[in-house]
Amino acid sequence: MSIDRIVLAFAGAMVMLSIVLSIYVSPYWLILGGFVGLNLFQSAFTGFCPLAMILRKFGCNPGAAFS
């Protein structure tokens, strides 16, 4: 699995988790989803993604976006 797919899967899981937590715990958990979305948006323009850097250090295969 490439870094690109791992980042997208992780971001999707975090957004879903923030929605579930906002329903059952507190609406402030939506801040997590907003942060993840904002990070995806800025990484589309800058190519900087902290998770991609961590995954690269663990030896995951780079994809087209985070090479």
pLDDT in tens, 12-30: 999 999 999 999 999 999 9
Single pTM value for the model? 0.85
Is pLDDT at 67 greater than 70 in this prediction? no
pLDDT in tens, 36-62: 999 999 998 998 999 999 999 999 988
User: What is the structure's pLDDT at 20?
Assistant: 98
Taking each helix axis as running N to C, give the angle between helix 50-57 and helix 3-24, from 0 to 180 degrees, rounded to the nearest 10.
130
Scanning 1-67, the segments in alpha helix (DSSP H) are 3-24, 30-46, 50-57
User: What is the structure's pLDDT at 12?
Assistant: 96
CA 66 – CA 21 distance, rounded (Å): 30
CB 63 within 8 A of CB 3: yes
Question: Which residues, 6+ apart, have CB-to-CB distance to 3 below 8 Å?
Answer: 52, 55, 56, 60, 61, 62, 63, 65, 66
